[in-house]
Amino acid sequence: MVEMLISGFASILTLKGILLIMGGVILGLIFGSIPGLTATMAIAICLPITFGMDPIDGMALLMGLYIGGVSGGLIPAILLKLPGTPSSIATTFDGYPMARNGEAGKAFSFAIVASFLGGLLSILVLIMIAPPLGKVALRFGPFEYFAIIIFALSLISSLSGKSLAKGMMAGLLGISFAMVGAAPIDAFPRFTFGNSAMDAGFSLLPVLIGLFAISEILINAEKTVKDNLKVNMKKISYKVSLKEYLGQGWNWLRSSLIGLGIGILPGIGGGTSNILAYVAAKNSSKNPEKFGKGVPDGVVASESSNNAAIGGALVPLISLGIPGDTVTALLLGGLVLHGLQPGPLLIQNNGDIVYAIFAALLVANVFMILFLFLGMRGFVKMLSIPQNILMPVILGLCVVGAYGENGRVFDVGALFFFGLLGYLMVKYGFPLTPLVLGFILGPLLETNLRRGLMLSQGDFMPFLTSPIAAAFLIFTVGSIGLKIYSNWKKKRNARTQQFELLEGEQ
């Protein structure tokens, strides 16, 4: 294996190979950092260019784009509270408050290092144990997916902020919006009101950037120019001590493993892993109340998990020829067009190319951390751009992104609709993340429920008796129980304190 890896490095470390990876990382970072443009789009655009290259060069470019595209999302997430891609939703939770507190530089340092290490861990896992891990993914059928999604939905309780009721309402609203359009399985149109433009339903990108970006622009528009954030550029500190990094070690590992695990399971995707890792970090922290106010832990959790999902998503692709998300589906197409046969024999028959892909990933990961650190001071300067110039530019980019995904004007309308909805929700104290989570997971839940019932010919028992599914359901009940208990304890403590105070007064 070591020899194969060395020859993999040898085949990409040509001037052309290095330039392609570098170009890919830069282009990917640009796509990732612009709200509405994603790694998927960058790869879709560049895929035809790779047709004319030899397979190794083509893959080198695509891997650069993939790593860059996933990592670039952290820039607008931290600076502007706009998730550049679904993978960096949770980065906004603490990254943006840190930037507001004048710690943008520090947030970047944490996010970049976390991205690098999360990616590195997952790439190493991919190189070493892809085939056995791929087999694990095969054990997940509809019953198991159903249970995992139920578990993920239960996280809404941790993402609801002050009011659990409002969080639940937002989550249910998300599930409802996801039901518009063609139903899973039989593709019959639902809630379209006879309007054929609604047949395809709402796609994730306009919903996401509408809720987060457009609403934020509207909120900013309320403020007078005087309110503008005045950042003293010289005061921004970038220094993070080694001790602070080391303090994130356990958080980093846990988040990376979550990202890796979600990445390996085809179909769930990076949009979920960062939220999951964030909640895990929050729930196991000694100071959960500080989350959302600007703690590096939140940034580290989100950014290490989304980059770890890269290696995870490549596991089933390389070992089984099964793509887990839209990006890996494109990569699968790229492999086929280069005359490779993705499947169980890929490593055996085309080991040279597979190990060149591994080497390209490792090199791209290094370029990613390099470019982000070099560019960091430049990105932070964005904060000094007056809002009245910056916001319209972002608005334009959001529209381009919403239109660009599917080339439909309907999506632009949806963007503004969800923008307005997001604005109203923020105004009335409803959290946005449960809506997105419900929107992403609702259709997956329904699809797997219906598929499971077809498989069991209408029997609900397998949803409970499959060992993996049962484990996740017990986990869900346990975590909800724990949450209720801790809330109850908190309330009781507060009450006894009040009593004591009252007694003391008497």
Partner 1 sequence: MKGIWKKITFGAAAIALAAGLGACAESDQAEGESNSSSGYPEKPIEVIVPAGAGGDTDLNTRIMAKAMEDELGKPLVVTNVTGAGGTTGTQKVKDAKPDGYTVLAFHNSMLLNKIYGLADYTYSDLKVAGVGVLDQSNTFVVSKDSKFKNVEEMIDYAKENPKKVTVATEVGSMTYMQILQIQEETGVEFNIVDVGGASDKITALLGGRVDIVPTSLGLVQGYLESGDFVALGVMAEERLEDAPDIPTFQEQGVDLVVDKVFLWAFPADTPDEIVATFTEAMSKAVESKEYQEEIKKSWLNPTYLNPEEASKKLSEVEAEYQELHELTEGQ
Among residues 64 and 73, whose Cβ is nearest to partner 1?
Answer: 64
Measured distance CA(127)–CA(105) in Å, rounded: 33
Measured distance CA(194)–CA(212) in Å, rounded: 29
How near is the Cβ of 64 to partner 1 at its closest, in Å?
Answer: 10
467, HSE (Cβ side, Cα atoms, 13 Å): 1
The dihedral sign for the CA sequence 89, 164, 296, 300: negative
Letter for the amino acid at 62? Answer: L
**List of residues 6+ apart from 173 with CB closer than 8 A:** 435, 438
**List of residues 6+ apart from 211 with CB closer than 8 A:** 418, 419, 421, 422, 425, 432, 435, 436
User: Mask of contacts with partner 1, 47-86, x by CB under 8 A?
Assistant: xxx-xx----------------------------------
Among residues 139 and 381, whose Cβ is nearest to partner 1?
Answer: 139
How near is the Cβ of 187 to partner 1 at its closest, in Å?
Answer: 4
Residues 233-292 that bind partner 1 (CB under 8 A): 266-267
Among residues 148 and 281, whose Cβ is nearest to partner 1?
Answer: 148
Per CB under 8 A, which region of 234-242, 336-344, 428-436, 490-498 contacts partner 1? 336-344
Among residues 339 and 504, whose Cβ is nearest to partner 1?
Answer: 339
CB 440 within 8 A of CB 272: yes
Q: Is 326 a binder of partner 1 (CB under 8 A)?
A: yes
20, HSE (Cβ side, Cα atoms, 13 Å): 25
- Continuous segment of H or E residues that includes residue 330: helix 326-337
Q: Is 105 a binder of partner 1 (CB under 8 A)?
A: no
For residue 139, give the DSSP letter: T
Among 320, 354, 436, 441, binds partner 1 (CB under 8 A): 320
Measured distance CA(464)–CA(473) in Å, rounded: 8
With contacts defined by CB under 8 A, how many residues of the chain interact with partner 1? 66
For residue 324, give the DSSP letter: -
Among 96, 116, 140, 278, binds partner 1 (CB under 8 A): 140
Among residues 285 and 456, whose Cβ is nearest to partner 1?
Answer: 456
Phi, psi of 228, deg, nearest 5:
-50, 140
How near is the Cβ of 363 to partner 1 at its closest, in Å?
Answer: 14
Question: Which tokens in the block code for residue 209?
Answer: 């950037």
**How distant is the alpha carbon of residue 359 from its chain centre?**
24
Per CB under 8 A, which region of 75-83, 86-94, 223-231, 405-413 contacts partner 1? 405-413
Among 33, 38, 40, 302, binds partner 1 (CB under 8 A): 40
Return the closest-CA partner of residue 61 out of 356, 308, 375: 356
Among residues 285 and 326, whose Cβ is nearest to partner 1?
Answer: 326
Residues 180-209 that bind partner 1 (CB under 8 A): 181-182, 185-189, 196, 199-201, 203
Per CB under 8 A, which region of 231-239, 275-283, 449-457, 486-494 contacts partner 1? 449-457
User: Mask of contacts with partner 1, 361-380, x by CB under 8 A?
Assistant: ----------x--xx-----
Helix, strand, or coil here: 481?
helix
Q: Is 493 a binder of partner 1 (CB under 8 A)?
A: no
Phi, psi of 126, deg, nearest 5:
-60, -45
Q: Is 138 a binder of partner 1 (CB under 8 A)?
A: yes
Among 454, 480, 482, 484, binds partner 1 (CB under 8 A): 454
422-425: Cβ within 8 A, 24+ apart: 422/210, 422/211, 422/212, 422/214, 422/215, 423/214, 423/215, 423/218, 423/219, 425/170, 425/211, 425/215
User: Mask of contacts with partner 1, 289-318, x by CB under 8 A?
Assistant: ---------------------------x--
Question: Which tokens in the block code for residue 24?
Answer: 């890919």
CA 154 to each of CA 171, 388, 494: distance values in angstroms, whole numbers, following the listed order: 10, 39, 26
Question: Which tokens in the block code for residue 265?
Answer: 């399971």
Per CB under 8 A, which region of 66-74, 137-145, 303-311, 422-430 contacts partner 1? 137-145
Question: Which tokens in the block code for residue 115?
Answer: 């991205």
Binding site for partner 1 (CB under 8 A): 19-20, 22-23, 26-27, 40, 44, 47-49, 51-52, 137-142, 181-182, 185-189, 196, 199-201, 203, 266-267, 316, 320-323, 326, 328-333, 336-337, 339, 341-346, 371, 374-375, 406-408, 447, 450-451, 454-455, 457
